[in-house]
Structure 1
Amino acid sequence: MRFADYAKIYVTAGQGGDGSRHFRREKYVPKGGPDGGDGGNGGDVILIGNEQLNTILDLRYRKYIKAKPGEHGSKQRRTGADGESQKLEVPLGTVVFDAESKERLGEITDHEQELVIAKGGKGGLGNWHFKSSTNQTPQHAQEGKPGEERVVELELKLIADVGLVGFPNAGKSTLLSALSHAKPKIADYPFTTLEPNLGVVKFEDYRSFVMADIPGIIEEAHEGKGLGIQFLRHIERNNVLLFMVSAMTDIEYEYNALLNELRSYRKDLLDKPRVLAITKMDLKQGFELEEELHFDDEIPVITISSATGHGVDELREKLWELIQHAKEEQET
């Protein structure tokens, strides 16, 4: 399935049905009073969370979404049927904005959660509502109100326990493949990953967590360079950040450059717990680094080789520990 994390759609809720101006006309009641019923309400446009989905690609091909109008009222004070709502299934982590005002309309975080993004018009009142002592035969009934009409933007922010953060060719896809059953495209050149991949990391004792491989960041990505900020948003929903730097590069420089990109995009991302994995240690003599590393923060550093398995179990346990700690803090 192709991945898509952005869609812009035009939504129109259903118009309310008109109220009826009917009068009773029965055999023995030649001059009956007003009995026009109310119009039905127009249908809404509703988003529904579906935990089985991981893309909003379908909505890219449904640019115009329109709900059904309510039916008109009829005689004997019968209310018209409400219009059928349009229900759109979206993945968990979908955030909705009004395209013009940029107002945040809400987000979908739970399975089967519903969010109305365009409210149907209210049905008009029938003429029997307007009968009074001075007006026994009201000729007036209300017209139905129009439904809301707006352009909305949908953004998907992947929900995962761990987000992989690294420059292209840092070995993120290889690690995800080694830790889970995910099968991302892997090759020895930059930008192999052009869309996020999710994998479930399992332990022998049935523990598990979800890891997201986010396409490689480059310097000045927060300004739109390279793949730009289109994938940085996925980091926002992760509990733990796993920074990955190849042992064959200037490790301190690359780690600090990654920190700067996240800080420039959203400073509070650095409040998340993080780990630094130094990858491709199988290319180093004796799996040892020549230089001693110095970082301004006290980040845990683990050397790994996804090819040989060196350090992978240690990394997996450290990530589990940080995930549980992050969840405990969220609950307090």
Structure 2
Amino acid sequence: MLQTVAVLLYRKVALFEFGVLNEVFGLDRTDDGVPAFEFLIGSPEPGAPLDIGNGAFVVPPHSLEDCLRADLVAVPGGSTNGPYPAEILDTLRGVVDNGGRVLTVCSGAFAAGAAGLLDGRRCTTHWRYGAKLAETFPKAIVDTDVLFVDDGPITTSAGTAAGIDAALHLVREEFGPDVANRIARRMVVPPHRDGGQRQFVEAPVPACESDGFATMLQWMVEHLDREIAVDDLAARMHMSSRTFARRFVEEVGVSPHKWLTEQRVLHARRLLESTDLAVDAVAGKAGFASATLLRHHFNAAVGVTPTVYRRRFAAP
């Protein structure tokens, strides 16, 4: 039963992520039908102030021993480089050994990885740190397309606000949707967000060692509304289509068709954010033959439909 929730703090504290955990678990909302949580703020040195930035500090009153008895221990974002204090890692492992759960927010996943808790498990972190998490902990199965991953006793969430999604998920799993919805309404956030991190990731034009390829990529970006055939691109580079396709993958890392589709989706995203063009018109300017084709590729790449994306990201 999820009754005692501890937030484990050490070194410099990510204030917003700590605040998210406090909002979900630390506020008394029993007047709204939400169960009361025992909320602990623990650190290796209880009573010692921890930096939260801009000259402010937080003073955790509880010890790591107190955290060990919690049903859930949450770790806000922290260093992606370590080192991670041995007592922190021992506490995280001890919580799991005692039958408890661990929740990480953003780069807090690195502490769980250092404790060995991500080995053989699906997990996530902020999309900027995904490759580093996978490289640092090769036994972890890293998925940065999602907002959070719940795998056994370990729940990992993506950047900052995704901690809200993960925390509400744990409440929903334990107490049902009505309780999670009550907390979400008080926080004025959706009780469940669709899509994943892909909708927040921008794919820039990659740097190329070959000046010829760099020039050609720039030309492609400037003419996305045209029909662009691989044979025509190969001719511009004075290569056979087969040689061009091979060289393109070597330079860019993906096939010409895949890269062109990615750039068209990226251009469509910008148009949806900055214009009031109809989806049909956006499709044409981005080089898609129809709005249906745009929706197919957009949903596959971003994880939400163009209409949902515009509602979330368009300027007023």
- TM-score, normalised to structure 2, is 0.30
Structure having the larger proportion of residues in strand = 1
Structure having the larger proportion of residues in helix = 2
**Larger Rg: 1 or 2?**
1
- TM-score, normalised to structure 1, is 0.29
